[in-house]
């Protein structure tokens, strides 16, 4: 890879830091613009998750946002819209640091997504012509080696069916980490809320399985206090809100402050 095309150092070491269970902070990006990513990178977030599953973000948006990630020194993961090999390939070819794959609810599916995300052993379609291959500047086998060692495949565990095979799923070679989707788990288990006992028990079981397998764990949290509790249990990567969530919280806080001070604000 040409010297002027090497990603910033922080981006180069991010996958290894994730696998080594360094404490990392990130957020979802749900707005199809580059500006939120630039801000998040400049204030020091370790990673962002570009949300193709639950936001109006298409392949072209993801490509541009990943360029902003490189420019801002923040690692760009992509929550792909499905577990299909095509969706995974598009994200990785565009230069994503890794993919969060939804609804990995069986060993068979875990093996499928690993194969889609790896050249060897795996079945990822080859091309070194996109950004990930420096637009043809990286040779075939250098590209294969770099991608297979540096990109992350993170399984989203968010279905009750996954609990039946959880120890085996998180032990599948090539699954670099697990994102525990407490919202989907709540719905899948028909529980009242993420705080319900059955959801807490499911999360505890997933964490235990991951720790036993040496698989890194990512979780979305609502506060630093909640993150500290989960950190003590072995979770090391934390997603905090989203770009939209931050904007909503900031806008609401500012309006409430003005309403408290100015009698004519309704």
Catalytic residue among 35, 42, 54, 83: 54
Active-site residue, 54 included: yes
Three-state helix/strand/coil letters over the chain: CCHHHCCCHHHHHHHHHHHCCCCEEEEEECCCCCHHHHHHHHHCCCEEEEECCCCCCCHHHHHHHHHHHHHHCCEEEEECCCCCHHHHHHHHHCCCCEEEECCCCCHHHHHHHHHHHCCCCCCCCCCCCCHHHHHHCCCHHHHHHHHHHHCEEEEEECCHHHHCCHHHHCCCCCCCEEEECHHHHHHHCCCCCCCCHHHHHHHHHHHHHHHHHCCEEEEEECCHHHHHHHHHHCCCEEEEEEHHHHHHHHHHHHHHHHHHHCCCCC
Residues noted as catalytic: 54
């Amino acid at each position: 890879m040409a010297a002027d095309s090497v990603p910033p150092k922080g981006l180069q070491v991010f996958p290894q830091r994730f696998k080594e269970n360094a404490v990392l902070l990130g957020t979802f990006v749900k707005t199809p613009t580059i500006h939120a990513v630039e801000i998040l990178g400049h204030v020091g977030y370790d990673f962002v998750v570009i949300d193709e599953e639950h936001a109006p973000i298409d392949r072209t948006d993801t490509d541009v946002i990943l360029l902003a990630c490189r420019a801002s020194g923040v690692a760009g993961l992509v929550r792909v819209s499905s577990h299909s090999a095509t969706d995974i390939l598009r994200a990785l070819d565009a230069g994503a640091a890794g993919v969060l794959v939804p609804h990995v609810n069986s060993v068979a599916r875990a093996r499928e997504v690993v194969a889609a995300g790896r050249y060897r052993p795996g079945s990822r379609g080859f091309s070194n012509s996109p950004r990930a291959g420096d637009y043809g500047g990286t040779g075939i086998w250098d590209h294969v080696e770099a991608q297979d060692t540096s990109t992350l495949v993170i399984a989203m565990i968010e279905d009750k069916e996954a609990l039946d095979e959880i120890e085996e799923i998180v032990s599948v070679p090539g699954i670099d980490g697990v994102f525990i989707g407490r919202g989907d788990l709540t719905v899948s288990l028909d529980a009242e809320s993420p705080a319900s006992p059955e959801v807490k028990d499911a999360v505890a079981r997933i964490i235990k399985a991951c720790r036993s397998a040496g698989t890194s764990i990512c979780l979305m949290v609502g506060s630093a206090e909640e993150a500290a509790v989960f950190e003590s249990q072995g979770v090391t990567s934390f997603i905090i809100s989203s770009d939209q969530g931050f904007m909503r919280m900031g806008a609401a806080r500012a309006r409430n402050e003005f309403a408290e001070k100015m009698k004519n604000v309704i």
